[in-house]
Amino acid sequence: MIKKAKAYFVSLSDRDRRAVFLGTVGLVGIVLYLFVGLPLFEDWSCVRDELKMYQDRLENVRAQSPASKAKIVGLYRTVPFVELAQNEDTQRKLFWDKTYDQLRSAGIRPSSGPSYISSSRKKTVQGSAALRLKFAGSCQYEQLLKFLARLNENPYLVSIEEFSVKSDAQKPGQLNIDMTLETFVRQEAR
């Protein structure tokens, strides 16, 4: 049978041979598409659906991950947190401790302890009076900027009332600062 088919194929003209060859290639292509291509594409669509399911599951895990919680914490950092004012003695200690920690973390060395200016009875806001803290220190320019940038992290609602900066003539790059900070204390009922 193969000899007859081969003899028949040889007896055909070049044009007919090309047509038979292209028909055979087309038939093989159709058979491959039906028995190999379609199952492969169906499997591929199942794989894509599975991949989508796993990506959704991963997105849910990411939403509950510490990184997303870190975003929320970052949001809380942009919203100021202020602790309620205490009585004058307690607030004085808490305020200086937190301010001193901020000064130290910025690299500023206070040259003297704080001097407190008694709470002002003139400047009151709904049962609170202003407490001023005055101190002096020495630092470099970058350290001063670091302290000022992080001053809003102080939980006691700090404002700068007086601020002076002088360059140290004997130590270039060194600044001498005098600063008066103000916070609120709970005004005692009299």
pLDDT digits (tens, 9 = 90+) for 1-40: 788 878 887 888 889 888 888 999 999 999 998 888 888 7
**Least trusted range by pLDDT, from 13-22, 63-72, 129-138:** 63-72
Is residue 12 classed as helix, strand or coil in its secondary structure? Answer: coil
Q: What is the pTM of this model?
A: 0.52
Q: What's the burial of 95, exposed, middle or buried (CB within 10 Å: 0-12/13-18/19+)? A: buried
What is the C-alpha separation between 163 and 181, in angstroms, rounded? 9
**pLDDT grade for 165, boundaries at 50, 70 and 90:** very high
**pLDDT grade for 57, boundaries at 50, 70 and 90:** confident
Mean of pLDDT values over 57-80? 67
- Residue 129's pLDDT is 80
Which residue ranges make up each domain of the chain?
2-61, 88-186
* Residue pLDDT, tens place only, 69-126: 666 666 555 555 566 667 777 888 888 888 888 888 888 888 777 777 665 555 555 6
The torsion of the CA quartet 118, 83, 178, 126, rounded to 10 degrees, works out to -40
| CATH code for the domain defined by 88-186 | 3.30.70.60
Contacts of 153 (CB under 8 A, 6+ apart): 102
